[in-house]
Amino acid sequence: MHKTERVAVAVKSDEADQACTTVYYDGSCPLCSVEIGHYASCEGSDGLHFVDVSNPNVRLGEDLTRQAAMGRFHVRRADGKLVSGARGFTELWDALPKWRWLARVARFPGIIPLLELAYRGFLPLRPVLSRIASWVGAKPVNQKDTLS
């Protein structure tokens, strides 16, 4: 499978795969779709499962609601543990060889709390940044469904 086909398949998945790390993302968000498309095209992404939580029919697991998944980045580790925010990004980065250095930096004492603070600062800006991304040509994976 070519890289472009891999990305198309990855960003359209609809359920978690318990055998590997699962990345939950908002496919109705142009900014999120571009970011996840990038990660899905990276070396090592074949070990990840990408799930678009904007699709109301996805199965997320008992410990994750669609509303929570739409409002915050979540990753389910291969061992089943659900992490979110900065810890979720650290898990994602650790799975991708060209991003692994950032995961290592994030694990230095005190760094994850700082990244989490920055992530929480980003969340209220996400809708505006997503609109800007849309204006410059970014397209959401799921253009039909958003959480009300």
Among residues 31, 3, 12, 17, the alpha carbon closest in space to that of 122 is found at 31
Q: How far apart are the first and last CA of the chain?
A: 36
In 21-105, which ranges are E strands? 21-25, 48-52, 74-76, 82-84
Residues 23, 15 contacting (CB under 8 angstroms): no
Residues 47, 78 contacting (CB under 8 angstroms): no
Digit-by-digit pLDDT tens for the chain (148 residues) are 444 444 444 444 445 445 689 999 999 999 999 999 999 999 999 999 999 999 988 889 889 999 999 999 999 999 999 999 999 999 999 999 999 999 999 999 999 999 999 999 999 999 898 889 888 878 888 765 444 3
Interval 112-137: pLDDT, tens: 999 999 999 999 999 898 889 888 87
pTM of the entire predicted model: 0.82
Residue whose entry in the numeric block shows the structure tokens 């993302």: 25
Spatial separation of the C-alpha atoms in residues 116 and 88, rounded to whole Å: 10
Interval 31-46: pLDDT, tens: 999 999 999 999 999 9
